[in-house]
């Protein structure tokens, strides 16, 4: 299956990063969102990140301009349907994703491959709401997309080998590494990572250590580049909670029970960096622990 054009639904942090690397690798990109402001912000962010690569001599000025010229933005979902491969990168909410795919299906070309950048939701369930479960799979990029080298490829129960091989070829064309995962809750990376973050929340909740000591312990004691609470703020506490709920619901094991403190922060709207407050307060010149 030849892929020349790629549709990306959702112009947020993940969507604009995926558009960036796809355009730089030579694919024509249609970036879709329901908000014109989000699209404009995404295009500005892509240009800024490409310029950063130029300043580091990672790419040339011509590479930057050519990549930008390959990206078109659209508020209309049907425009995405005429691409060869679609990557849904909307919010981590199953009902939202269902509505997107159901709205997209009538506008697809017969051979268009559908994928989702979901970090935890069942690929088999998402595929079942489309007309082509055999041409559907998980295409999970890591954040920030232009820097992180891993992509998880997740087959649903019906995904055929041609679809997998096509997506594998795209990952390789991006100079990234694919990790093949089975379709179980949270796949590989988040099955391991998010419960660790949840355990850090429990360590804070139970008073074993404060925010600064927990993060310092894991950075200096386990050689992690970021502490787990700092990383949670970077990911988004709402996303962490959503993944813990998927694990808890999908595997029915109490070890995946979301920490009540994590739930409380999300209920307060303290979602991390994107809301300027989470386990750290980002409203000043330097992040300050909130506990």
Q: How far is CA 182 from CA 123, 189, 272, 276, in A?
A: 10, 12, 30, 35
| Residues whose CB falls within 8 Å of the CB of residue 119, separated by 6 or more in sequence, listed in order | 92, 140, 186, 187, 189, 190, 239, 243
Choose one of 164, 181, 198: the last residue of a domain: 181
- 169, 218: one domain: no
pLDDT for 1 beyond 70: no
- 48, 87: one domain: yes
Choose one of 153, 181, 209: the last residue of a domain: 181
Residue range(s) defining the domain that contains residue 258: 189-289
Q: What is the CATH number of the domain that holds 153?
A: 3.40.50.720
The catalytic residues are 119, 140, 152, 190
Q: Percent of the chain at pLDDT above 70?
A: 100
Confidence (pLDDT) at 92? 85
Choose one of 152, 181, 210: the last residue of a domain: 181
- 261, 200: one domain: yes
Q: How many domains does the chain have?
A: 2
**pTM of the predicted structure, to 2 decimals:** 0.89
Burial (Cβ within 10 Å: 0-12, 13-18, ≥19) of residue 108: buried
pLDDT tens for 123-140 read: 999 999 999 999 999 999
How far is Cα 12 from Cα 264, in angstroms, rounded to an integer?
24
| Average pLDDT of span 209-230 | 98
- 246, 171: one domain: no
| pLDDT averaged over every residue in the chain | 96
pLDDT tens for 243-271 read: 999 999 999 999 999 999 999 999 999 99
- 30, 57: one domain: yes
Counting every residue written for the chain, the total comes to: 291
- 224, 248: one domain: yes
Q: Are strands 288-289 and 280-281 parallel, antiparallel or unpaired?
A: antiparallel
- 69, 177: one domain: yes
- 39, 164: one domain: yes
């Amino acid at each position: 299956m030849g892929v020349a054009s790629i549709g990306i639904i959702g112009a947020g942090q993940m969507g604009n990063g995926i558009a960036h690397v796809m355009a730089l690798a030579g694919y024509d990109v249609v970036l879709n969102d329901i908000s014109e402001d989000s699209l404009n912000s995404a295009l500005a962010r892509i240009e800024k990140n490409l310029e950063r690569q130029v300043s580091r001599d990672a790419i040339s000025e011509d590479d930057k301009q050519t990549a930008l010229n390959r990206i078109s933005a659209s508020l209309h979902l049907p425009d995405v349907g005429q691409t060869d491969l679609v990557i849904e990168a909307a919010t981590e909410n199953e009902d939202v994703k269902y509505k997107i795919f159901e709205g997209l299906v009538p506008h697809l070309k017969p051979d268009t491959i559908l994928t989702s950048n979901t970090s935890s939701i069942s690929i088999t369930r998402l595929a079942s709401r489309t007309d082509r479960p055999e041409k559907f799979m998980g295409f999970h990029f890591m954040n920030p997309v232009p820097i992180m080298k891993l992509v998880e490829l997740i087959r649903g129960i019906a995904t055929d080998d041609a679809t997998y091989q096509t997506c594998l070829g795209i990952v390789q064309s991006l100079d990234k590494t694919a990790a093949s995962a089975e379709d179980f809750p949270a796949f590989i990376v988040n099955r391991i990572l998010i419960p660790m973050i949840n355990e850090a929340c429990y360590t804070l909740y139970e008073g074993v250590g404060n925010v600064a000591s927990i993060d310092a312990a894991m950075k200096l004691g386990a050689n992690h580049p970021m502490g787990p609470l700092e990383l949670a703020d970077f990911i988004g506490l709402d996303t962490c909670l959503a993944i813990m709920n998927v694990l808890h619901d999908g595997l029915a094991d109490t070890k995946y029970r979301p920490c009540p403190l994590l739930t409380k922060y999300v209920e307060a709207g303290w979602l991390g960096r994107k809301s300027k407050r989470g386990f750290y307060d980002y409203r000043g010149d330097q992040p300050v622990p909130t506990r």
